[in-house]
Structure 1
Amino acid sequence: MKILHTADWHIGKKLHKHELSEDFELFIAWLCDFIEKEAVDVLLISGDVFDLANPSSEARKQYYRALMRLRKLDCKLVITGGNHDSPSMLDAPQEILRELEMHVIGGLPENMEELLIPIKNKKEETELVIAALPYLRDADLRSAADGQTYEDRLEAIRAGIQQCFENAADLCRKNYPGIPTIAMGHLFAAGAETSESEREIQIGNLAAFNANQFGDYFNYIALGHIHKPQKLNSSIPTYYSGSPLPLSFSERKDNKRVLLLNTENGWEPENIPVPAFRSLLKISGSLEDLELKLRDPGDRKNLESLIEVELTEENYDAAKILQLDTIVSNFELEGFRIVKHRVNFRNRIAGASEIYQEQKLEDLKPREVFLELISRQEYDDKTKEEILSAFEELLGETYQNENL
């Protein structure tokens, strides 16, 4: 039997306000082709189907379109909810989807036997069982009485996660003795490497779950939540498939993948690279460096390349911030778009609260604070006059708007 493990689709995701819907459509087209070519029997999606708990109508349409495309293939689907997903929204069409061989577990059910999904072969024999555990919320794991201190609460969460997986293993052992079992999960496990696109799980990373606490009953643990693909140090094969698409610039160098299990060959999965549909480029340096690099930013894929620009200078200079804004505003190169720019001054300017340590800012006039700030910069008299003039104009507009 062939099982494909993926997770963290994040349908509806925007990268610095740029829609990634086209990326997802290309991924689904590739995924369907792969499933058909390899005759995959089961597709596992381990949480974070959507990027938002209340996804847009377009994101929901993409989800159902993807399901219908996958439905045309002879492949069973098992989908679990993640921390980004709304359990009730995922569970709403549960009964209909089940009739289409699509099993959705949005949140932890009261009857844990509902988590167990038997997978039958062509002879109608149960060949595999999926223990489809979704993201376990705080209310699923402990009561308010479980500990008084912060560390007590964290320990209660870890113990609760462990208990859920132990209960699932006991039910599999009881109801499907001797049948191989895969457990799905959506959580942060100790030792996992994260990216900047991931939101913290439970009470932050301090609630990290030790992978050995999954126990030794399951043949494979199919995890979601961490976008960087990786294997965990555990007594049984435990993997994060990672997100199939880069969801932040910190993931631009990740080798995105899905994982293919062939039970005839064992329980170690095969890495299946997902094609890169768009380039995420990060360009940094001085103004001169940026102007040069932006003439030829880098590779182009099927879709428009997105660029993050970082100006790096030694000393604060308001004129250089203005020049950067001008460069970004005037940037026009077919197939490339700057979606974010920022400034990094190594010798940063002191904030107003640091300058006036013995005075309350509310006791000072805006002009006094601004004069003190620019006096600390190495501007010539003409530049100072221009900056002060611009400040006075902005201040005047602010007062005028307040009086409207």
Structure 2
Amino acid sequence: MRVLHTSDWHVGRTFHGRDLLADQESVLGGLADLVRAEGVDVVVVAGDLYDRAVPSAESVEICARVLTRIREAGARIVITPGNHDSAQRIGVFGEFAAAGGLHLLTRISGLASPVLIDGVAFYGLPYLDPEPARHSLGITAGRGHAVVLAEAMRRVRADLEQRPGTRSVVLAHAFVVGGQTSDSERSIRVGGVEHVPASVFDGVDYVALGHLHGPQVLAEHLRYSGSPIAYSFSEAQHRKSVWLVDLDDSGLRQVRRHELPVPRRLATITGRLHEVLADPAHTELEDCFLSVTVTDEVRPLDLQRRLQERFPHAVHADWRPEGGRARGEMRYAEAVRGRTDQQIAAGFVADCRGSTPTGSEQALLDKAFQEVGRE
């Protein structure tokens, strides 16, 4: 059997305010061509199908078109929800969808009840919010994501023991120790420590991980596919891809990486604004999503507008004066030197509010300092 491992589609996410739906449909729809070319039997999506628990109508339509194309290309599909998804909404028509080859593994109660496809058992571990999952799984000792996932995998292994000779694939949405993060993942530190030991997933042939957005190999059988397109500038160096996983009678035979197309490259520039705008070396960046850090001593006026006159996809601009200090800016020690505590407090009020403390307010400040002095 050949399995295509993907995750973290985040359909509906924007990039610094720019709509990505067309790019998402282009890249994800292309998976159908890969299914045909490589003879893929099953496509797995390990969580975060959508970017929001209540996705837009357009996002749902795009997912429907993409999944239909993949199914028409000949692959069956197995999906488990991530921390961005609503498990209930994704799984609501699960029994009907399964009849058409789309298997939605969304229920905690069913995590040890696999989908059996051509002799391979696919187990879906939806994102397990630690506290609700702890009660659902009857856990009385311990808290956190590692504890609930350990119990989930104990149940998976117990089920496998009743299926001698069955090969196994687990879909899990988790932050496994050793994984490298980026800026676009939402923390899953809920109800305890978010990291999960890799050893939790021992005993199965392949684990298709989701949550982290960079493709990563934690062990031969334990991998993140990463997101299909970049969702932050921290992913500029990622080579977005999917894994092609081959299973035979003995278990995992081989895993190959297939890189995905890049709809629009990401790039960063640092320098003085007039140099950035005039430098001919930046011509090749004019079609990139661009993050620009300007180092002028004084913050340029209309920074974003001026950048977009040359770079229409400049979506992020930052001002960091060269040397770390703007002209005329004082360090805190210089600003408070020679001033009393009362004067510093009054200056703080003036900076925050735009006016100095009134007489009664100053009296309250003086009283507070007197009490502190007595203490």
Q: How does 1:192-271 map to 2 (within 5 A)?
A: 192-203=179-190, 206-215=193-202, 217-233=203-219, 237-264=221-248, 266-271=252-257
C-alpha offsets along residues 376-404 of structure 1, whole Å, 9 cap, x if unaligned?
Answer: xxxxxxxxxxxxxxxxxxxxxxxxxxxxx
- Report the secondary structure of 2:238's partner residue: coil
Q: How does 1:78-117 map to 2 (within 5 A)?
A: 78-108=78-108, 110-114=109-113, 116-117=114-115
**Could you tell me which of 284, 288, 308 is aligned with 1:298?**
284
The separation in 1 between residues aligned to 2:299 and 2:189, in whole angstroms, is 42
C-alpha offsets along residues 272-305 of structure 1, whole Å, 9 cap, x if unaligned?
Answer: 11111211121112224322347734257xxx53
The separation in 1 between residues aligned to 2:305 and 2:122, in whole angstroms, is 55
Query: What is the one-letter code of the residue matched to 2:131?
Result: A
Which is worse superposed, 352-361 or 13-22? Answer: 352-361
In structure 1, list runs of 5 or more residues that go unmatched.
Answer: 121-126, 370-404
Q: How does 1:13-92 map to 2 (within 5 A)?
A: 13-92=13-92
Write out the 4+ residue segments of structure 1 that deviate beyond 4 Å after TM superposition: 143-147, 348-357, 360-363, 365-369
C-alpha offsets along residues 158-205 of structure 1, whole Å, 9 cap, x if unaligned?
Answer: 22211111111111221x221111111000011110100111113399
- Report the secondary structure of 1:322's partner residue: coil
Structure 1's 294 and 166: CA in aligned 2 closer, same or farther, altered over 3 A? Answer: farther
Structure 1's 254 and 145: CA in aligned 2 closer, same or farther, altered over 3 A? Answer: closer
Query: 1:221·1:238 contact (CA, 8 Å) conserved in 2?
Result: yes
- Report the secondary structure of 1:364's partner residue: helix
Query: What is the one-letter code of the residue matched to 1:162?
Result: A
The separation in 2 between residues aligned to 1:270 and 1:95, in whole angstroms, is 32
The separation in 1 between residues aligned to 2:46 and 2:94, in whole angstroms, is 16
Query: What is the one-letter code of the residue matched to 1:75?
Result: A
Query: 1:287·1:320 contact (CA, 8 Å) conserved in 2?
Result: no
Structure 1's 21 and 225: CA in aligned 2 closer, same or farther, altered over 3 A? Answer: same
Query: 1:141·1:161 contact (CA, 8 Å) conserved in 2?
Result: no
Matched, 1:132 2:140: no
Query: What is the one-letter code of the residue matched to 1:259?
Result: W
The two structures have a TM-score, normalised by structure 1, of 0.77
- What is the number of residues matched between the two proteins? 341
Query: 1:138·1:202 contact (CA, 8 Å) conserved in 2?
Result: no
Aligned to 1:311: 294
The separation in 2 between residues aligned to 1:232 and 1:145, in whole angstroms, is 28
In structure 2, list runs of 5 or more residues that go unmatched.
Answer: 357-375
The separation in 2 between residues aligned to 1:354 and 1:76, in whole angstroms, is 67
Query: What is the one-letter code of the residue matched to 1:159?
Result: V
Query: 2:168·2:206 contact (CA, 8 Å) conserved in 1?
Result: yes
**Could you tell me which of 316, 321, 325 is aligned with 1:340?**
316
Query: 1:166·1:214 contact (CA, 8 Å) conserved in 2?
Result: no
Matched, 1:182 2:169: yes
The separation in 2 between residues aligned to 1:61 and 1:28, in whole angstroms, is 13
Query: 1:237·1:267 contact (CA, 8 Å) conserved in 2?
Result: no
Query: What is the one-letter code of the residue matched to 1:102?
Result: L
Structure 1's 153 and 350: CA in aligned 2 closer, same or farther, altered over 3 A? Answer: farther
The separation in 2 between residues aligned to 1:87 and 1:353, in whole angstroms, is 53
Query: 1:44·1:77 contact (CA, 8 Å) conserved in 2?
Result: yes
Query: What is the one-letter code of the residue matched to 1:337?
Result: H
Percent sequence identity over aligned pairs: 27
The separation in 1 between residues aligned to 2:280 and 2:87, in whole angstroms, is 44
Query: What is the one-letter code of the residue matched to 2:56?
Result: S
Structure 1's 353 and 62: CA in aligned 2 closer, same or farther, altered over 3 A? Answer: farther
The two structures have a TM-score, normalised by structure 2, of 0.82
C-alpha offsets along residues 220-259 of structure 1, whole Å, 9 cap, x if unaligned?
Answer: 11100000110114xx610001111111111111011100
